[in-house]
Structure formats: structure tokens, C-alpha cells
Structure 1
Amino acid sequence: MVVPTLNEADNIDPLLTRLFALNLAPGSFEVIFVDDGSCDGTPDRVRAWESHLNVRLVERREKPDLTGSILAGVSLAQSDVIVVMNADLSHPPERLPALVAPVLDGSHDVAVGSRYVLGGSTVGWPLHHQWLARMGGWFTRPICDVSDASSGFLAFRRQLAATIAEHARGNKILLELLMAGGGKLRVVEVPVCFHNRAHGTFKVSLHHQWIYLQRLMTLAGGTVSFGTTGRFAAVGLFGAVIDILLFQWFMSRGVGLALAHSVSFFAAAAVTYPLNSKWSFPPLHAGYPQWHRFGRFLMVGLFALLMRGGILALLVHGWHVPATLAIFPAVALTAAVNYLGTAFYVLPVRQNSPPADVRWRVASFGIVVFAVLLRLIYLGETQLIPDEAYYWNYAQHMELSFLDHPPMVAWLIWLGTAIAGDNEFGVRVGAFICGLIAMGYLYALARNLYDKTTGMRAVLLLAILPFGFVPGMLMTADAPLMAAWAATLYYMERMLLGPDGNRAWLGLGIAFGLGILSKYTLGLLGPAALLFVILDPASRRWLRCPQPYLAAGLALVMFSPVIIWNMEHNWVSILFQSERATGIGNKFSLHWLFLHMLLMLTPVGLVAAAMALGPGGDDRLDSRTARCRLFVRVFTGVPLAVFFCLSLFGAPKFHWTGPVWLALLPTMAWMMGQEGELSTLASRVRAAWKPTIAVFLFLYAFALHYVVLGIPGVPYVGFGEHYFWREATHEVEQIVATVQRQTGQKPIVVGMSRWSVATSLTFYNKSENGEPMDIRSRNLFGDKAAMYDFWYPPDPPTSRPIILVGMVPKELERNRQGHGIGSMLAQPGPILERTIFREGKPLRKVYYRIAQGYLGQMNQPCLEEKC
């Protein structure tokens, strides 16, 4: 037993008394105390025990360091099994036999006394001590398969100490062992109750945690050390001064926020890059080609720049912080991204680099965190798209269900806006949380099917591929659907493949119920489950068990609000969705289905999905692996086959196949980590994933910065008529005010699309300076307008002015049946347009038409014939 000490004099006697009181064979263990320069008489207390028992003392003269102390004690040990424990009695000596047994019997290489497994705990620790310990565990969870990697109570085989690097330092020897083992060690966690010390002072501080974090980053492959950190900080501070001063100068001269922070950033980067490459990280400077290093530096810099644009927009536009102050936290974030990007990507460790498994985990964790932060930062600053505004109107007219979707999206928006306010963040926070839930369930599913590393890669793919990134940010019905779909797959796997499926039915029923409350599409997993049970002999027993039927009954009860609403409205929603499912457009659209899949998965993802679904030598697989592969294929193939059939005589929407790929992501992620020859298609796909991930992450960041702040030199083109409704609403408000002054009557504003224009105008018309606008949709002229047919049935004729607003001019001329709108209006005027500008650049156009009244639908000849 190696016990490091520093000023533990009052604990030596009770520790040794309890140790030698254990029922262990005499002479079966030795206790080596390694003292790091105690000044309270600790060495003398130890020497008092040396004379008559197997106790030894080592006094180190080097700088105090826990890892160094332990290794010094291990080097003198005579046993093949080493136990490390604290001297402060926080590690109960009575748990020593249980801790060392798995190593002594040869079943494991390392045994960890854990606070965070069932049966473990901490007693009497102050709250801040518990948080410091928890932080250590959180930091290591992405790269270690141990719940309590910061534990100091462990047993291991002595030869493992030779794998620890000579320059190892810090206060966590367990972390060094686990990382040196490269995931090949047999590790077990033994529950232990840690107690607070009775004598002496608690020695772990934020400084120790910082040292621990630096060492963790080094072991994970980052170029991190005290020297590089200090030099990088000095260079970063110099660059920050240049950045901030230039930004302040530009802002004082009226330059736009986007141009000011972009120019100041690149100016600072031009100064700091050569200093960092030649001074902050000098040992690695010669190891990388200049073009390679600069290209990676530029990529990291662009990511940092685009993220900090969101921070500036959030602070300046959202929280109304002056730009001259907002630049300071924005620069701090930029420095953090640049530092981590440089350490792990621009100049990572090349010698003694961690194994591929650890590198994948670190890369997956970093990219997912960046993608999640990118969403969170821009969540409340990007304007709503018309679909989101439409669902926000759901929440303003709350019902048990709605025509075109079940009510879950409305419930989430209602809850989000009730907590965060009627703003973009309040509307979208539910989507953000659903995205995190989908990630969590997908990780658990992939870990169960394969392993932890595959689980992290699966989450990486979900965070990067379009079908995962977009629903995790935009509040549409697809956001809760993705979360419920992932949860349903997880509980399906636990029930059909797990060791104790009898307990999964409750979670399955709840997940399935929430899923069909989000979108009817999730019902496709029901036939998939039935097919799997038929094909898999081991699962057929479920046909005779009550649990699947209980889960279906629970889901049906949860779905009852939709059933009740449909009963009250002549099953209009069911009929509407059935009509959509049997073919939108009544034409062959299989080629569009493949195009939509390409958009959802990217070209590399589509090829990887085809390979994952294709035949793969199932006759050579063991039973468990074959069943997992069958699970993935069935739960992907059945919904996909349905969309394939529908596309033969209709046109499914492009995003319908999105959740289908959740079942396939674990296999795609597993394939990413398999090694092979570059000449094979599989290895080429693996090589293509890295640029695909980088390109799409950049595209998301670029697009978000573009719509919020703009990109210097890039015009607003291509989609303006469908976006920037905040500015368009302000323009319409001015038109309404002018017409009201001229006529003395409040006009009716009619959005001339099914619901896009009306709902967007309604959301952004906050009526801060007067009454809100009276906004209707195109059903006023006999067209279908989804829920507007329920909310605002067509009005009788009126002499109030009518203002038609459209995204394109043709919407203001005729309705969808091709009939002229002018005959329903009194004195209709010409179609006019206004161009909206942002910082001197054309943003979008608004098309409108003013009439002096509404004559009603009966004045339309064709409608008279219908009546």
C-alpha cells in the first residue's frame, strides 16, 4: 500500500491502527508512506511504526506532486499488487479487502474505489468539495469508461506503473493508468463510501483541478503544458488588445458590427499566428508543414469568428449590451476556441499520441460541444422561419390537436414561451432540449449495440448531418419527433435485445405515445417492431407476453387528445394526413426521394447508409451481433420502404425521411472507426467523413452568422422572400399606419400564402406602439389555409381597407384555383413593392396591394356556381 502524505501527522496512528486491525494474514502487505515535505512531524509519526511492523517511509525532496510521490513508492514496493489510498482516512481501510480482491484473483487489472456506482457515496463532505470531485469525474467521462476516474483509492498490478509517462504529474494516478492502458485494461469499480477528514486540511483546490484538467488534455492528445499555456496566454492577451482596439475604432466610425469584428479578428490573428507557431508551441514547429499548419489554423479561426459573431449578436441585439463592452466576452470566447483548436487540431501531440479510440472520443466530444454551443448561441438571434411562426400560432390557439399535426409542438412552444417569453428563444428552447434528448438516447442505443466510442461517434453524426442539426435548432414538429423516435428505438432495443426487457415496456409506451403526439410518422415503428419479432426467433415470445400490449395501450391513452379532437371535427386531421400520405401531387417522385435523402445525409452519409444497410456476411456473425444487425435493418428498412412506395405515386416532403436514419446511425458510426485499406470503398468513405464534418460544421456556422449579422461582401440573395420577417413586418406596419391615417379605418392585412405570411406577420407584430394589426390569411378569398380555416373563417363583405401582402407578385393576382382576386375587392390598386435594406445592402422585398374594401366570395362567379 502506497500512502502519499503532506502534513498528515494526526492521521497516521488511526490509519495504521485500522489497517493492522484488518483480518489479513501477517506479512501479507506492506505500507509505504511517501512524504512530500511535511512540516508537522508526519515523518516522525511514521518512523515510530517502522521499528516493529512492515511500515516504510520515503521522504521526497522534489517539488510536491501526488503522482510523483506514488510512483516513488511503487518503485520500492516488493509486491506485485499495489494499493493507493489517502492518509486522511477519507478512504475507509475496512474496504481494502473488497477493493484488492478483483486484482488478487486475476480477474481485473485495476480496481477503483468508486463514489459514483451503486453503493458508493460521500459522507460529511462540504458541498464545494463534492463539486470539485464531481468536476474531475465529468471531465474524464468522455474519454474514460470509469464513473469515478478522479478517485485516489485504487488497486492495480505493479507492472502497469511502467506504462505511465516519465513526465507525468498531477494528483490523479488513476487517470494516468487508464490513459496509458489505451482502453485495454480490465477495470472494475468497487463501491466505497468516502468520508470527510477529521484532522488536517482539505488539499484539493481549483488550482489542483486546473493541473488535473491540463494533464487530462495532454493525455487526450492536446499540446498542453504549463509552458505552452503561459506563452499562449501572453500571445493571446497581446492579440486581444489589438482585436479590441481595432473593433472600438471601427465602431466609433459607424462601421457595421459584422465588418468591425471580422476585420479586427483577422488583424489580431495575423499577429498572433506566427508568435504562437514559433514561440508558444516551439517543440512542434518543425514537425508540421507550414501550409498544413496554416490551413488548420485558418479553419479554427473561422469557426471561432463565426461563433463569436453569435455572441456579439446575442449581447448587443438580444441583451442590449453596448458593442464596446460586448466585445470583451466575445474575445474571451474566441481565445478559448483558438486555444483548444490549436492544442488538439492545429498542433496536436505527435509523439506518444493516444490510441485511435481516445482520439475519436476527444474529437467527437469537441465537435458535438461546438455544434451544441453554436445552436444555443444563435437560438434566440435567428429569426423564425414561417413554419415556426405557424406553430407558434398553434400555441396562441391551444386545442387538443390540430389539422396538420398533433399537439406536441404547440405544447412545447407554449411551455417555452411561458418561461422565456414570446421571443425566438422561447419558441425554440423546446427544440434545443429535444435535440439533447435525442443525442442522449442515440448514444445509449449505439453503446448498447456496439460500444461507448461508437456511441460518441453516433452523436457526432447526429450533431453534424442536416437531418439532425436542423431539428435540434428549429421548432417544428420534427424536433419532438426526433427525440421520441430515438427514445422509442432505445426502449425497443432494451426490450427485444436487452438482458431484462420486461422492464422496458413502460419507457417504450411513454416514448411511443409522445412520438405519435409529435407526428403520426412515428407509427411506422409499430409495423417494424412486429416484423422484427416475426423474423427473430428469440423475440417471438413477446407475442405471448402482456408487456408489448401494455405499452401499446399506454401509447393509445396518451394519444387520446388527438382522437377526441378528430371525433369533434369529423376526423378531418386523419383524413388530411391520409390524403397527404397517399400522394402529394399524384406523380412519380422516386428521384426526388433520393435527392431528399442526399440532402438529409450528405453524399458521404448516403453512401455510408447504403453500405450499412447492404448485405454483410451475416452467416459469419455471432448470434448477438446478427440480431443487432437485424434490428438496425428492420427499424430502418420498414419506414424507408413505406416512403419508397409513396414516392412511386406521390411526392413526400423532403424532411420526412429524417428520423428514419436514427436506427442506422450506430452502424454508420461503427463503420467510421474500422481500419482497412484505402483502396476499398469503405475506407474511402471513412476518409471522406473528416472533410464532410468540417465542411458542414462550417456551413452551419456561416449560415447562422449570415442571417443574423451578415457576411462582409456577401449580398442577401436567394431566400429573402421567405425570411427576414422582422424587417418585413416593420415595413408592413408602416404601410398599415399610412392607410389608416388616409382612410380613418383600421385595415385588414391578408397574408397571400396558405399560412406563411400571416403567421410571420402575427409573430413579429408585437404592437408595442399601438394596437396589433388585424391579420388574416388567403382563405378570405376561397383558398385553403390550414388552421386559419378554423381560426379565422372568411369574413362578410366590409368597407374596411384591405392590404394584401405576398412573398411574390403573382400571389396578389389570383387565388390557388386560378380565379382573379380583383373581383372580390373594392377598387383594388396595383401591385407595389418595397425594398428593405440592412446596413446599405438590400435585404428582401415586400409585395403588397391596397383595396378600399372586401366584396366577399359570392362576387366570384365560380364560387356562386359552387354555392
Structure 2
Amino acid sequence: MRSWCLAAIAAALADVLIFVILDRAGLSLEPAQALAFAAALLAALGVLQNFACEHRWTTLCFVVALAYPLRAGVLSLLAAQGSPLVAIVPAALAGALTLLLGGRVIAAGTRRQDFAIAVPLAVIYLLVLRLVYLGQIELAPQEAYYWNYAQHLDIGYLDHPPLVAWLIAATFALGDGEFFVRLPAVFSWAVMLAFAIAYAQDMAGRGNALRTALLAATLPFCFGIGVMVTPDAPLAAAWAAALFFLQRALLGESRVAWLGAGLAIGIGMLAKYSMVLVPAAAFVFMLVDARSRRSLLSVWAWGGVLIALLVFSPVIVWNLQHDWASFAFQGSRRLAARAPQFSLPEFLAAALLLLTPLGVLALWRLWRPRGDMSATFQATPANDQRNLLTGRRRLFMLVFTLLPLLVFAVSSLRAETKFHWTGPIWLAILPVLAATMTRPGLGEGRLDRLLARGWVPLLQALMLVYAYGLFYYPVWGLAGLRAHHDYLEMGWRDLRRQVQGIEEAVLLETGRRPAVVGLDRHNTADEMAFYDPRGDGARDTASRHLFFNENAVMYEFWFPRSAFAGRDLIAVSGWRGNLEDPRLLATATRLGPVQALTARKGGVAVATYHARVVYGYRPAPLP
């Protein structure tokens, strides 16, 4: 390891020195930092000139590829707060430390399939990467919508339960900005990871738990819940906790575990209604598993049910106060709102994406175990991974995977499906996926060998996709290319700044400050509210329901039409036709001209929006 320490020191010194020289020469930040990193890499390789081939050059290239986006993220984060010449020092140290720790993994080697060093470092890297970048990327409209939830705190909402709002409100009290909005997602990911590890250790032992940690950190859904703040993040954490407690209650026959399961299920129901599939699966398991049927009459099991209902009770109270609006919205109204839509192909494609092709093969391995394994429970040591394919453990994973999956599959036959809906379901089979990462894990067949060889390269590729695609590219671009997505990175801050200019002009003209109205369902209003430079957007930004008799979700509850009577409004839309709609004229004393607003991100034109001032708003009667 001495050579790796020297290489890391040489890399950091070269990085800082070359960056300072290029900065003094007048080179812009992006090429200067890229060239400085290249010099740092050459310096490190100069020290490692005797690096032997058996030490895996491919792993070294992977480590270098991980070091660059982390170092660049630290630089962009700190350079935005002060001088780049100061920011390059901690950035260079971050890159050098990544190289040093990666060298530790390379030196240890992976021929013995020893993940004890690599897995904790991978999990820590992905956590630090999140913390570095999450405050540098604009909120997606859906995230801004849940932030708006937190600005209108309640015990329930139309389209989701309130937990995501409560979590955002708690972290936003610590500070403002994108980082604190997304912090609950990182916390939820950490909780999910902890319970997934504990669940796997109970199911298949410590070694399996270690590899489960790697999967829970890198599989697409598991990684994604720690990036964007949505109800899926606390749902996944609660789902993993419920699996842990239920397997202890049903397989380990722990009575106290029923109380933990009830608490987890109740919290999950506060996050998203799909959590109800977990107790449904538990009920089915108790019906088909003879040893568990006695739990149907257990006081402890019913105590867990009572705890779940008590935790979930605020949502029941909110629905009682609002004519069961949320339950109807997620149930009968969702199915009746649109024509039947066959989305089974999209459902299957989403499952393939979230589980990955190797995960699908591992699921098949669970469904069709080979060999002479007994169909009854085997009292063999807990650390034998082959127990996963026998008896009650296998039955537990099958029921808790296939029953929720079947519900969504049937729903997709006539209704829209979204790619992330099945994400938490796969938590139940993570131990099986983890077992297939080693050979022999579950067996010695051709499929087992394919899985054992394929997992590590796949997970490495996913880590690089996350580092560059989700974090580095939105902040830095790639080789000068910056074509931002019109949902996640469309220049909302710049657009709101231009709308603010219109707002100030109307204030100067009339002496009255206008409100802002987004003319889509909620996306535009969400972003206009969050990026309001005056900081009061959540109290003064409404949606299309003021002009059109169309669904605007919670905005209809927060801002009744009568609240804006007589006020001047700035209507904002991505489609000019909305601003020329006769329904606008019917609600206005007079209308200003339509103004085109070009939103920019990183100096690049991303999208064109339009704005129009509605003077003297008069609420039109509903048809």
C-alpha cells in the first residue's frame, strides 16, 4: 500500500499545481479541471510504473473513472461558493483519496470473491456522490410538488399520504435549497439499506448480507430512491423494514417482531398506499404455510395490526374530512378517469429495467430450483445460501414477490403503469440475487456460472452510469455538450428570474404585486413556487384550475378561485395556445401581450415558455 499512498500524494499535488497554472493562464473552469485531472493521473501512474498486470488494470481504470466525477463535483460545489483556486484543494484530495481507497481494493484482490473491503467502499462512494451533487441539480417538477406539500403541511393530501411532506418539512427546517429538499431521500435510502442487510443476514448469513448491501446500493430502483425525493423513498425504507420484521415473525416465530412489522407497515402506508400489498402478502403466506396459520389468532399479530392502523389514522381522518377524496383518487377515480389502456409490455419492460436481466435470471432460479433440494424446511445452518431455495424461506420470498407483482400485472391489463411502481417488490429476493454473485452460491450449473461472472461488471457499469449520467453530466456537460432534459434540467431558475422581471414591471405599473399561475397540471406552478427569488412562492403561485376546469391536484385545495378575485396574475405556459385561450379573456378585465421567455441552463437555451399578464382576475363560474 505504500506505493498507492505515494501515488495519491503525487496525484493531488499535480492536480492542484496544473489547475493553478491553467487558471492563471485564463483557461475556463471546465477544460482546466479536466486537464488538471489528466496530469494528476499521469503523476499517479508514474509512481505506479511497476504496477503488475495481475493487479487488474481494468479495476484501476474503473477506480480512475469513479474518482473523476467525485472530484469534479467537489470542485463545482465549492467553486460556486468562492474561489476555484481554493476549491481545487479539497477537490484534488477527494480524487486522490478515491484513488488510494481503490488501490486498497486492488491490492486485496478479488479472486477469493472477498467483498469485505470493496462493498463498504462502494456504498460510501455512492453516498458521498449523492451528498456532493444533490444540491447542484435543479429539482424535478415532481420534487418541487412535494416541497409544496411541505409548505402546506397537513395530515393528508389528494394524491398521496403525507409522510414525504413531513420529512421534507423536517429537513428544510435545517436549511433551504435543493440539498435539504432531497435529504429525506438519502436518509430513506440509508434506512432501506440497513434493513435489507439485516433481512439478508437472517435469511442467508453474513456473507450474503454483505453482497445484498452492494445490490441495495446499486440496483436501479434502490439507487434511485436516494436521489429524488418522492413517496417511493420512505416507502422503500418501510417495505424493507416490514420484510425484516415479518420474516422474524413468520419464519423465526418472534412474537415481538409483529409489533415492529405493524409499525413499519403503518409508516409505509403514510408514504404510499401500495404498502398495503405487504400485509396482504403476509396474510396469504399465513394461509399457505401451515406453521404460520396459528399467527392468525395471535394477540401479538393483531397488536401489530392495531399499531399499523394507529400510525395510518391521520390519513383516515383527512379522508373522512374530505369525502374520502384521496382513497377515491387512487382507486375508483383513477380507473374511471381514462379509457382502458393495455400497458403490460411497459410493465414487463420496467421490471426488466429495475431488476436488470441478471436479476430476472436469478428470479427464475428461485422459481425453478434444481437438484434434490427438499420441498420442506431444512434445519441447516443459517449461513448456507442454498437454504434460500428450500422450504419456508423460498415460500416467503415467492409470496412477498409474486403476489404484489401479480396485482400490478393485472392492473397493467387495463390501466397505465409507471416504471418505478414495482421497485420495492424486488427487495424480498435480494438475498437470492446476492447468492448468485458467488460460485458456488446456489449451485454449479451453467446459469449459476453465468450469474457469478456477470454481476460485478454489471454493477460497475451501473455505478459509472450513475456517476456520469445522473450527476456529472447535468452539472458539467460532457466535452462541451450540454443538452439538458426539459424535465429534470430545463433552466427553471432562469425562467423564474424572467417571470420575476414581469412581476416587478406589473408592480411598478399598478402598485399591486401579481401572483403567478402555471397553466399545466402542476409542473410549472411547482417550479415557479420553489424558485421564486422572493421566497414566498408557495403562498402565491397557483395552477390551471383558476382558468380551466381541469385537474390541478392539490392546488385546487390550496388556492380556491375566490382567493384571487380582483388580483393581477402572470400566466405561464410552455404552449402559447394556452395563453390565447378564450377562457383567459373571460376571466380578465384586460390582457397583456404574450411574451416569449427562453429558459437557459449553463448558458444553453433549453426551452421556450410564454407568459401573459391577466389584469383584474374575475373567477368564471364552473360549468
In the alignment, is residue 555 of structure 1 matched against residue 555 of structure 2? no
> Match of 1:326?
87
User: In 1, Cα distance between the equivalents of 2:477 and 2:496?
Assistant: 19
> Match of 1:776?
542
Deviation at 1:367, TM superposition (A): 1.5
Question: Contact conserved, 2:530 with 2:537, CA < 8 A, in 1?
Answer: no
SS at 2:117 equivalent = helix
In the alignment, is residue 341 of structure 1 matched against residue 341 of structure 2? no
More off after superposition, 704-713 vs 466-475: 704-713
In the alignment, is residue 648 of structure 1 matched against residue 413 of structure 2? yes
More off after superposition, 745-754 vs 822-831: 822-831
> Match of 2:570?
803
Cα 1:323–1:672 shift into 2, 3 Å: same
Counterpart of 1:425 in structure 2: which amino acid? F
More off after superposition, 510-519 vs 364-373: 364-373
Equivalent residue in structure 2 for 1:627, among 368, 384, 392: 392
In the alignment, is residue 305 of structure 1 matched against residue 68 of structure 2? yes
User: In 1, Cα distance between the equivalents of 2:22 and 2:332?
Assistant: 57
> Match of 1:147?
none
Q: Deviations over 1:114-166 (max 9, x none)?
A: xxxxxxxxxxxxxxxxxxxxxxxxxxxxxxxxxxxxxxxxxxxxxxxxxxxxx
Cα 1:355–1:236 shift into 2, 3 Å: closer
Cα 1:708–1:613 shift into 2, 3 Å: farther
User: In 1, Cα distance between the equivalents of 2:63 and 2:525?
Assistant: 41
In the alignment, is residue 663 of structure 1 matched against residue 434 of structure 2? no
> Match of 2:512?
745
User: In 1, Cα distance between the equivalents of 2:331 and 2:357?
Assistant: 31
Deviation at 1:805, TM superposition (A): 1.5
Counterpart of 2:248 in structure 1: which amino acid? R
TM-score, length-normalised on structure 1? 0.66
In the alignment, is residue 692 of structure 1 matched against residue 458 of structure 2? yes
Equivalent residue in structure 2 for 1:261, among 19, 29, 33: 33
> Match of 2:48?
277
User: In 2, Cα distance between the equivalents of 1:809 and 1:826?
Assistant: 20
> Match of 2:328?
575
Deviation at 1:760, TM superposition (A): 1.7
> Match of 2:598?
835
Deviation at 1:635, TM superposition (A): 0.5
Counterpart of 1:654 in structure 2: which amino acid? F
In the alignment, is residue 389 of structure 1 matched against residue 150 of structure 2? no
Question: Contact conserved, 2:12 with 2:95, CA < 8 A, in 1?
Answer: no
SS at 1:667 equivalent = helix
User: In 1, Cα distance between the equivalents of 2:353 and 2:608?
Assistant: 28
User: In 2, Cα distance between the equivalents of 1:490 and 1:743?
Assistant: 61
**What is the Cα-based RMSD across aligned positions, in Å?**
2.7
SS at 2:610 equivalent = strand
User: In 2, Cα distance between the equivalents of 1:715 and 1:707?
Assistant: 8
Counterpart of 1:377 in structure 2: which amino acid? V
Equivalent residue in structure 1 for 2:345, among 591, 604, 613: 591
Question: Contact conserved, 1:753 with 1:811, CA < 8 A, in 2?
Answer: no
Counterpart of 1:479 in structure 2: which amino acid? A
Question: Contact conserved, 1:277 with 1:285, CA < 8 A, in 2?
Answer: no
Cα 1:377–1:756 shift into 2, 3 Å: same
In the alignment, is residue 492 of structure 1 matched against residue 264 of structure 2? no
In the alignment, is residue 849 of structure 1 matched against residue 606 of structure 2? no
In the alignment, is residue 477 of structure 1 matched against residue 231 of structure 2? yes
Deviation at 1:563, TM superposition (A): 0.9
Q: Unaligned stretches of 5+ in structure 1?
A: 1-223
SS at 1:360 equivalent = coil
Q: Deviations over 1:434-453 (max 9, x none)?
A: 11111111001111111112
Q: Deviations over 1:398-436 (max 9, x none)?
A: 111111111111111111112x21222222222211111
Question: Contact conserved, 2:474 with 2:489, CA < 8 A, in 1?
Answer: no
SS at 1:472 equivalent = coil
> Match of 2:383?
none
> Match of 1:220?
none
Q: Deviations over 1:596-616 (max 9, x none)?
A: 223322333334334434455
In the alignment, is residue 725 of structure 1 matched against residue 492 of structure 2? yes
Alignment of structure 1 residues 126-165 onto 2, 5 Å: none
> Match of 1:602?
356
How many pairs were matched up?
Answer: 608
Alignment of structure 1 residues 704-719 onto 2, 5 Å: 704-719=471-486
In the alignment, is residue 355 of structure 1 matched against residue 130 of structure 2? no
More off after superposition, 240-249 vs 430-439: 240-249
Cα 1:837–1:784 shift into 2, 3 Å: closer
Alignment of structure 1 residues 149-228 onto 2, 5 Å: 224=1, 227-228=2-3
Deviation at 1:354, TM superposition (A): 6.8
Q: Unaligned stretches of 5+ in structure 2?
A: 379-386
Question: Contact conserved, 2:490 with 2:599, CA < 8 A, in 1?
Answer: no
Question: Contact conserved, 2:226 with 2:233, CA < 8 A, in 1?
Answer: yes
Higher relative contact order, structure no. (Cα contacts within 8 Å, ≥ 6 residues apart): 2
> Match of 2:178?
424
> Match of 2:276?
523
Question: Contact conserved, 1:581 with 1:646, CA < 8 A, in 2?
Answer: no
> Match of 1:759?
526
User: In 2, Cα distance between the equivalents of 1:581 and 1:266?
Assistant: 54
User: In 2, Cα distance between the equivalents of 1:791 and 1:765?
Assistant: 18
Q: Percent identity?
A: 35
Cα 1:738–1:482 shift into 2, 3 Å: same
In the alignment, is residue 411 of structure 1 matched against residue 179 of structure 2? no
Deviation at 1:711, TM superposition (A): 3.1
SS at 1:559 equivalent = helix
Deviation at 1:734, TM superposition (A): 2.0
Deviation at 1:653, TM superposition (A): 2.3
> Match of 1:21?
none
Deviation at 1:723, TM superposition (A): 4.0
Cα 1:508–1:809 shift into 2, 3 Å: same
Q: Deviations over 1:255-301 (max 9, x none)?
A: 5433332221113213432x1331xxx3x52546xxx72x5433322
In the alignment, is residue 542 of structure 1 matched against residue 295 of structure 2? yes
Equivalent residue in structure 1 for 2:403, among 619, 625, 638: 638
User: In 1, Cα distance between the equivalents of 2:372 and 2:275?
Assistant: 28
Question: Contact conserved, 2:517 with 2:525, CA < 8 A, in 1?
Answer: yes
Deviation at 1:331, TM superposition (A): 0.7
Cα 1:304–1:788 shift into 2, 3 Å: same
Cα 1:580–1:595 shift into 2, 3 Å: farther
> Match of 1:509?
262
SS at 1:848 equivalent = strand
User: In 1, Cα distance between the equivalents of 2:485 and 2:460?
Assistant: 24
Which has a greater percent of helix? Answer: 2
Deviation at 1:690, TM superposition (A): 2.1
Cα 1:392–1:340 shift into 2, 3 Å: same
Counterpart of 1:489 in structure 2: which amino acid? L
In the alignment, is residue 376 of structure 1 matched against residue 131 of structure 2? yes
> Match of 1:99?
none
Cα 1:658–1:379 shift into 2, 3 Å: same
Deviation at 1:776, TM superposition (A): 1.2
User: In 1, Cα distance between the equivalents of 2:179 and 2:484?
Assistant: 26
Deviation at 1:823, TM superposition (A): 4.5
Cα 1:803–1:665 shift into 2, 3 Å: same
Q: Deviations over 1:788-837 (max 9, x none)?
A: 111001247856443222245455455xxxx8645444554565433344
